[in-house]
Amino acid sequence: MAKSVLARLDEAVDGFCLRTRYFREEMTKGRAHMFAMQHRLNTRQRNSVLKLKVATNCPDWDTRIGIIRACSEEVIADHEHGGGRAHWEILEDLGTRIGLSRKKIQAAKPIATTQLAWSAWEGLMANRHWLEGIVANTCAERANVPGYGTGVMKKHGWFGLERERWGRLFNLSNGELEFFGLHEKADIAHSDAGWRAVERFAGQLHMEDAVVAACERNLQVWEMYLNGIGEAGDKSARY
Ligand SMILES: [Fe+2]
């Protein structure tokens, strides 16, 4: 029997988790600083621009509202997991606990690879079939679900891995690392909704191969985005 489309998507996410240098190499202070600044910008761009384009293109009302709800938790207020704060605000708070001033975080500009990722995602999310867009919206959050990659990541997901290594590096408690903890829950919910939509519509629309290809391409962009943060973090730490 041919592999199910979800099994093929899972395989793509697993490959991303296994190969991305940013996950495999050591976390450093410089890299963590760069992540806090770039990812705050990235989550704002993705959830106020890119994912909303996918919602606009989506004809299934429940799926569309689900996307907008998830975006609103990210950029406006998350009452369920974040005590009413947006996720980028929670990440800003975390940045101040690892030695960055709020002023510096707020003044950060996207580095070249972040900007390139936004341009690439524009092409992969804005003028695409909405089902490919749903995959683009959720494939990286999927890495926060346990079961992909190896070691701590396989056991607790990508942000479980970050919680562990940031905790060790900066001596922070789980409460202080809430940005990662809340995503272990929020992203399971967000990415499940995406995966369910694909399961429901890919066969119906004869788009199995297209959604798998979309998943692979989007994760290549994520790989470049994260490795770019690693490299820029290493450079800035040398000053
Ligand atoms: Fe988030």
Grade residue 1 by pLDDT with cuts at 50, 70 and 90: low
Largest CA distance in the chain: 56
pLDDT for the residue 73: 92
Cα 142 to averaged position of ligand 1 atoms, centre (Å)? 12
What is the spatial distance between Cα 188 and Cα 223, in angstroms, rounded to a whole number? 20
Average pLDDT along the chain: 95
Distance CA 55, CA 64 (A): 5
pLDDT of residue 99: 97
Residue 222 has pLDDT above 70, yes or no: yes
* 55: its two tokens: 């919602």
pLDDT at res. 81: 85
Q: Tokens standing for 45? A: 């761009």
Q: Tens digits of per-residue pLDDT, 102-119? A: 999 999 999 999 999 999
For residue 95, what are its two tokens? Answer: 């940045």
- Residue 238's pLDDT band (boundaries 50, 70, 90)? low
87 CA to centre of ligand 1 in angstroms: 5
| 187 has a pLDDT exceeding 90 | no
Centre of ligand 1 to C-alpha 213, Å, is 24
CA 1 to ligand 1 centroid distance, Å: 37
pLDDT of 236 strictly over 90: no
Per cent of the chain over pLDDT 70 is 99
Calculate what percentage of the chain has a pLDDT beyond 90.
88
Q: What share of the chain is helix, strand, coil (3-state, %, to 5)?
A: 75, 0, 25
Q: What is the DSSP string of 114-129?
A: HHHHHHHHHHHHTSS-
Helix axes 158-170, 29-45, angle to 10 degrees: 140
pTM above 0.85, yes or no: yes
Q: Distance between CA atoms of 85 and 179, rounded to whole angstroms? A: 11
Average pLDDT over residues 127-135: 95
* pLDDT confidence of residue 8: 97
The rounded Å distance from CA 2 to ligand 1 centre is 34
Residues lining ion ligand 1 (Cβ < 5 A) are 74, 87
Distance 183 CA to ligand 1 centre (A): 6
For range 121-136, the mean pLDDT: 96
Cα 20 to ligand 1 centre (Å)? 20
Between CA 31 and CA 238 the distance in angstroms is 11
Residue 239 has pLDDT above 60, yes or no: no
* pLDDT beyond 90 at 136: yes
